[in-house]
Structure 1
Amino acid sequence: MDSIRVVIAGATGRMGQEAVKLVQREENMILAGAVSRSRIGEDVGESVGIGSVGIALTDSLEDALVQSRPDVLVDFTTPEVVYRNTELAIQYGVRPVVGATGLSQGEIHELEAMCWDRGIGGVIAPNFAIGAVLMMNFASRAAKYLPHVEIIEMHHDRKLDAPSGTALKTAELISREREEMKQGQPDEKETLEGARGGYKDGFRVHSVRLPGLVAHQEVLFGGPGQLLTLRHDSMNRESFMPGVKLAAEKVMTLDHLVYGLEKILDE
């Protein structure tokens, strides 16, 4: 396979910086462009602390797509711009690998249709940590047998959306395997609004935001006389990079968009 030319959007963010380092150290990838809302004109390598790489930061994704002619866009931006970025990439025939969360189901369906029309692959992954993907898979299997469940997700205090994309994806997978059923005491009353978390098909999803956390999730299953706990912890953002590498490679072989890293793990 020829080297994969990659543009990174959100290149100076915490995840984007790790993605820059990943592309620079992989022999089968070439950093073709870097997009950011800050440090415009600065060499992205200097910005992330790996020394000059000859790629200047720009605030225009369209310019980066036109000028560098990449194969793949890796997007770690924010919910308010991720849809437009992904749409723009597809319009230019660039395969999107999206880690930013905040896309609605309607927007995902629209992006799926765009990829089908262009005949190109795309990957949208709420979580690129392979261990987290396995946790979601195990949770969907457990829900068949232990339908009483709650999700607790914990992230750093700079995260913009709640619940996390990983929690929403986990809830979606659980709902496919479990009949909708309202849990707990039927006459339960919250004396503090929100104390029981968000409601999803009869079970609850809780979000914690604290400094010192990175990305963590527990899925708790309860049954008569037993409790099953599934937990995944990302201690640093490097934990997501093997999944990003896998997605950037696999997306070159796809002709459609997939939602969730689990869709490409065993291909």
Structure 2
Amino acid sequence: MTIRVAIAGARGRMGSEAVKAVTKRDGMELVAALDYKRVGDSLAELEIFPPNLNVPIFTNLDQLIEDTRPDVLIDLTNPQSVYEHTKVALMRNVRPVVGTTGFTDEQLNELKTLAENSKVGCIIAPNFAIGAILMMKFAKEAAKYLPDVEIIELHHDRKLDAPSGTGLKTAQLIAEVRNEKKQGHPSEKETIDGARGADFEGMRIHSVRLPGLVAHQEVLFGGDGQLLTIRHDSYNRESFMGGVLYCVEAVMTIENLVYGLENLI
């Protein structure tokens, strides 16, 4: 069976990598692209893609689904669009694979219910890099023994959300095995607001945004006379594509919403 794939955000840095990955993958066919504005009739018209890539571009998701009948929608857009894209896809029996972050808890709960009721698989992955997933798994294990932890996530300066989805997901996983605990001196005072980073159940999350970065994170665990550092670095967006393709195949086999690639590997 060939999996018919549509990509939302194909012109973006992640999206263009996904276009290349899907078109090279046996058993997958790229049937459509979704864009927020009219940029042409097909990807072949855009300089960043090969001239023989005659994949139609749509600005309306309902029309895209009606005309091209994809099995899977890969969404690599932005926090302002992703919720509506995911909801429409689920309602139209298209299986979303989402790499965009920025969902609220209420939105995630609604999408989870919608996926379960319609028995349509959905995967929302804050990070597609296999190494990043292992980093989160290792951090959760370490937190059982070293509960004093701070997260430093570093991304390019065009990223819209802070903390990153990976940073937040890491904190959530750690919180599953760590009792809430305020870290630092009890009388600690910030002389500049935000100096200690975001507070998540007493652990701190620091977001760095600089040109030249792609996606990086380290989790620091402090103990008596010791420091454990677990770090992952993505140096280019090709590092995410193995996870994207894995999710496209995996989402065809499930009938619910899975949040986090660590729940599948």
Normalising by structure 1, we get a TM-score of 0.97
Question: Which amino acid in 2 is paired with 1:139?
Answer: A
Q: Which residue number corresponds to residue 11 of structure 2?
A: 12
Change over 3 Å in CA distance of 1:37–1:247 after alignment to 2 = same
Q: CA deviation at 1:149?
A: 0.2
How many residues in Structure 1 have an aligned counterpart in Structure 2? 264
Any residues of structure 2 matched to 1:169-208 within 5 Å, and which? Answer: 169-208=169-208
8 Å CA contact retained: 1:123, 1:259: yes
1:68-111 per-residue CA deviation (whole Å, 9 max, x = no partner) reads 00100000010011000000000110000000000012111110
Q: Which residue number corresponds to residue 51 of structure 2?
A: 51
Any residues of structure 2 matched to 1:130-145 within 5 Å, and which? Answer: 130-145=130-145
Question: Which amino acid in 2 is paired with 1:193?
Answer: D
Distance across 2 between alignment mates of 1:121 and 1:96: 7
Question: Which amino acid in 2 is paired with 1:9?
Answer: A
Question: Which amino acid in 2 is paired with 1:26?
Answer: R
Q: CA deviation at 1:46?
A: 4.8
Question: Which amino acid in 2 is paired with 1:100?
Answer: T
Root-mean-square deviation over aligned CA pairs? 1.0
| Structure 2 counterpart SS, 1:50 | coil
Question: Which amino acid in 2 is paired with 1:123?
Answer: I
Question: Which amino acid in 2 is paired with 1:155?
Answer: H
| Structure 1 counterpart SS, 2:113 | helix
Any residues of structure 2 matched to 1:193-232 within 5 Å, and which? Answer: 193-232=193-232
Distance across 2 between alignment mates of 1:258 and 1:46: 35
| Structure 2 counterpart SS, 1:96 | strand
Distance across 1 between alignment mates of 2:39 and 2:57: 5
Matched, 1:153 2:153: yes
1:2-28 per-residue CA deviation (whole Å, 9 max, x = no partner) reads 010001001111111111111110111
Distance across 1 between alignment mates of 2:107 and 2:204: 24
Q: CA deviation at 1:40?
A: 2.3
Structure 1 runs of 4+ with >3 Å offset: none
Q: Which residue number corresponds to residue 163 of structure 2?
A: 163
Distance across 1 between alignment mates of 2:39 and 2:45: 12
8 Å CA contact retained: 1:127, 1:261: yes
